């Protein structure tokens, strides 16, 4: 099979490199450096959308739904106008559920097949090829592509119809966001009341309060490091999706709404380029303390 891969960012670059290790892969990104790195990993470089005309599978890994939509359907530069009928489009981006359904319908109208396949796991897991991939779409297509997808993900879950991959990923992300916002609120409270941040961290991460968010972010907070995870401004799309679904389907989500408020406050205070651990800075400012370890 011949693969096209569009989007060589923090996640896409290692994914494409792993795929290219044992497959014929043609890549495209706006960054020349990213393109050159992918070429060193065994991929060939595409110069335009037309260069994907011979691929059997097109994989996208892009930062937003709008960019996915534009890369596929732009009247002048969209890739779909160059794809043969029955080409499989696999979107590994994390985008809105409603937009995913729309993209699926548009691709189907063009005679193209579609899987939504967002991934979970940070850059190190992308590099190691140990991501979790949640896939919505035709199960037979999933099985056909499983050997290739396994170069990027060691856990591949077929979740149901088109859109279900994004929904499953969203559920995971919203729980992660809620946990990160809870840490931001409670850790400064503990410090304000006189507790030592390092002792508190040890208790949380060895006790029932621990979570992936606490295990990842608390050590970073203690060190004052807020640049090791996905930026707040980029990840905010998950909370928008959660609010949209809550409103559209009349599903109460008060805890999610509270976490979103903390998230929004961090963005308003200019922390959008930092990772989710930076939400703690909001409460540190309000309480006049910090949660750093002693020098």
What pLDDT score does 229 carry?
82
CA angle 182/187/192 to nearest 5° reads: 135
- The confidence score (pLDDT) of residue 107 equals 98
Domains of the chain, CATH where assigned: 2-161 (3.40.50.720), 168-287 (1.10.1040.10)
The pLDDT of residue 25? 98
User: Which pLDDT value is given to residue 234?
Assistant: 87
Round to whole Å and give the CA distance between 25 and 3. 5
Q: 109-140: per-residue pLDDT in tens?
A: 999 999 999 999 888 899 999 999 999 999 99
- Structure confidence by residue, pLDDT tens digits, 149-192: 999 999 999 999 999 999 999 999 999 999 999 999 999 999 99
> Which position has the token pair 């609120």?
185
Q: Where do we find the tokens 């739904």?
A: 65
**What would the DSSP string read from start to end of 169-238?**
HHHHHHHHHHHHHHHHHHHHHHHHTT--HHHHHHHHHHSTT--HHHHHHHHHHHHT---SS--HHHHHHH
Longest distance between any two alpha carbons in the chain, whole Å? 65
Q: Which residues are catalytic?
A: 169
At residue 228, the pLDDT reads 87
Per-residue pLDDT of the chain in tens (295 residues, 90 and over written 9):
999 999 999 999 999 999 999 999 999 999 999 999 999 999 999 999 999 999 999 999 999 999 999 999 999 999 999 999 999 999 999 999 989 999 999 999 999 999 999 999 888 899 999 999 999 999 999 999 999 999 999 999 999 999 999 999 999 999 999 999 999 999 999 999 999 999 999 999 999 999 999 999 999 999 999 998 889 998 898 999 999 999 999 999 999 999 999 999 999 999 999 999 999 999 999 999 999 998 7
Q: Which residues pair with 90 in a beta bridge?
A: 59, 115
pLDDT confidence of residue 121:
85
């Amino acid at each position: 099979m011949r693969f096209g891969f569009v989007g060589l960012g923090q996640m896409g670059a290692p994914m494409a490199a792993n795929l290219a290790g044992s497959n014929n892969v043609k890549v495209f990104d706006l960054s020349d450096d990213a393109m050159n790195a992918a070429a060193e990993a065994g991929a060939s470089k595409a110069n335009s959308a037309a260069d994907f005309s011979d691929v059997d599978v097109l994989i996208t890994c892009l930062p937003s739904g709008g960019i996915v939509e534009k890369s596929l359907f732009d009247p002048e530069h969209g890739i779909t106008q160059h794809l043969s009928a029955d080409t499989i489009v696999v979107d590994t981006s994390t985008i809105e559920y409603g937009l995913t359904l729309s993209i699926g319908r548009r691709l189907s109208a063009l005679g193209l097949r579609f899987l939504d396949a967002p991934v979970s796991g940070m850059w190190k897991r992308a590099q190691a090829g140990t991501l979790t991939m949640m896939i919505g779409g035709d199960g037979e297509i999933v099985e056909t592509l499983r050997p290739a997808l396994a170069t990027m993900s060691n856990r591949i879950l077929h979740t149901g119809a088109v859109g279900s991959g994004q929904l499953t990923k969203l559920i995971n992300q919203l729980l992660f966001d809620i946990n990160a916002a809870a840490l931001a609120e409670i850790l400064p409270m503990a410090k304000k009341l006189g507790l030592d941040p390092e002792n508190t961290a040890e208790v949380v991460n060895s006790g029932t309060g621990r979570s992936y968010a606490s295990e990842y972010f608390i050590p970073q907070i203690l060190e004052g490091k807020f640049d090791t995870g996905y930026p707040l401004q980029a990840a905010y799309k998950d909370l928008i999706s959660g609010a949209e679904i809550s409103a559209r389907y009349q599903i109460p989500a008060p805890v999610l709404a509270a976490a979103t408020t903390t998230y929004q406050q961090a963005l308003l205070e200019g922390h959008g380029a930092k990772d989710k651990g930076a939400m703690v800075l909001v409460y540190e400012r309000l309480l006049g303390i910090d949660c750093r370890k002693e020098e």
